[in-house]
Amino acid sequence: MTICPSPFRLAAFVVLAALGTSSCFASAVDDLLTRYGTQGAGPFDPAVGAAQWDRPTLNAAVGETRRCSLCHSTNLRAVGKHATTGKRIEPLAPATNPERLTDAEKIEKWLLRNCKWTWGRECTPQEKGNFLVMMRAQ
């Protein structure tokens, strides 16, 4: 006896497969890594990302030494606290906060804003890629 796949079952499989690849958090990060690659960056290193994260850097514009962990802490799975407003910041680690790293434009927006606030300049594509491979492994 032969088993014929029903057209409905086949269609459902195709739809689910398409959803599965587009809604996975890895794809937003992968898209950005590809984008940074076209800008000449890579390969990216999570150990360098971790070092960048907690590296005290002089923000020359404000004359203050700052780092990412000021607001997000050194434990990305923990709740952070905004350095100036004191507001709660939900964890950045996708393992504890599945909403993180799911939206490429949101990631870019916050990297731009936070690099400027922290380091007094934009991060390079290489630095952003290092941050993202470190963050997605948390």
Residue ranges that bind ligand HEC, judged by CB under 6 A? 68, 70-72, 82-83, 89-90, 92, 100-101, 106-107, 110-111, 114-115, 117-118, 131
Toward ligand HEC, which CB reaches closer, 13 or 74? 74
Cα–chain center distance at 85 = 23
Minimum distance from residue 48 beta carbon to ligand HEC (Å):
12
Is the CB of residue 100 less than 8 Å from the CB of residue 25?
A: yes
Toward ligand HEC, which CB reaches closer, 11 or 137? 137
Toward ligand HEC, which CB reaches closer, 100 or 129? 100
Cα(4)–Cα(61) distance, integer angstroms: 69
Cα(34)–Cα(84) distance, integer angstroms: 34
